[in-house]
Amino acid sequence: MSVDGSGVLMEPGVAKSMPTTGGAGKPTQGQAGRRDTSVSNYVNELMQQVKAKNPAEPEFHQAVHEVAESLALVFEKHPEYRRKKVLERIIEPERVLLFRVPWMDDKGEVHVNRGFRIEMNSAIGPYKGGLRFHPTVNLGILKFLAFEQVFKNSLTTLPMGGGKGGSDFDPKGKSDNEVMRFCQAFMAELFRHIGPNTDVPAGDIGVGGREIGFLFGQYKKLRNEFTGVLTGKGLAWGGSLIRPEATGYGCTYFAANMLATRNQTLDGKTCLVSGSGNVAQYAVEKIAQLGGTIVTMSDSSGHIYDPEGIDAEKLRFVEELKNVRRGRIQEYTQKYRSATYTPVDPKLDHNPLWAHKADCAFPCATQNEINGADADHLLKNKVFVVSEGANMPSTPEAITKFVEAGILFGPGKAANAGGVAVSGLEMSQNSLRYNWTREEVDQRLLGIMKSIHDACVAASNRYGTTGNYVNGANIAGFLKVADAMLDQGIV
Domain boundaries, the chain: 1-31+240-474, 95-237
Q: 174-206 b/e with 16+ CB inside 10 Å = b?
A: beeebbbbbbbbbbbebbebbbeeebbbbbbbb
Q: Taking 90 as the threshold, does the pLDDT of residue 102 lie above it?
A: yes
Q: What is the pLDDT of residues 427-486, one digit of tens each?
A: 999 999 999 999 999 999 999 999 999 999 999 999 999 999 999 999 999 999 999 999
Q: How open is the CA angle 274-280-285, to the nearest 5 degrees?
A: 125
Q: Looking at residue 36, what is its pLDDT?
A: 72
CB neighbours of residue 353 within 10 Å: 27
How far, CA to CA in Å, does 10 sit from each of 18, 207, 247, 420, 443?
A: 13, 31, 20, 17, 16
Task: Report the C-alpha gap between 106 and 268 in whole angstroms.
Answer: 50
Q: What is the pLDDT of residues 209-245, one digit of tens each?
A: 999 999 999 999 999 999 999 999 999 999 999 999 9
Catalytic residue annotation = 164
Task: Report the C-alpha gap between 136 and 43 in whole angstroms.
Answer: 29
Q: Which CATH class for the 95-237 domain?
A: alpha beta
Q: Taking 60 as the threshold, does the pLDDT of residue 86 lie above it?
A: yes
Q: Do domains 1-31+240-474 and 95-237 have the same CATH topology?
A: yes
Q: What is the pLDDT of residues 370-413, one digit of tens each?
A: 999 999 999 999 999 999 999 999 999 999 999 999 999 999 99
Q: The whole model's pTM is what?
A: 0.90
How far, CA to CA in Å, does 470 sit from each of 143, 438, 457?
A: 20, 31, 10
What average pLDDT does the segment 267-292 reach?
97
The reply to whether CATH 3.40.50.1360 applies to domain 1-31+240-474 is no
Q: Looking at residue 31, what is its pLDDT?
A: 44
Q: Looking at residue 65, what is its pLDDT?
A: 97
Higher pLDDT, 63 or 5: 63
Q: Looking at residue 5, what is its pLDDT?
A: 36
Q: Taking 60 as the threshold, does the pLDDT of residue 13 lie above it?
A: no
Q: Looking at residue 300, what is its pLDDT?
A: 94
3 state DSSP class of 140: helix
Q: What is the pLDDT of residues 35-74, one digit of tens each?
A: 578 999 999 999 999 999 999 999 999 999 999 999 999 9
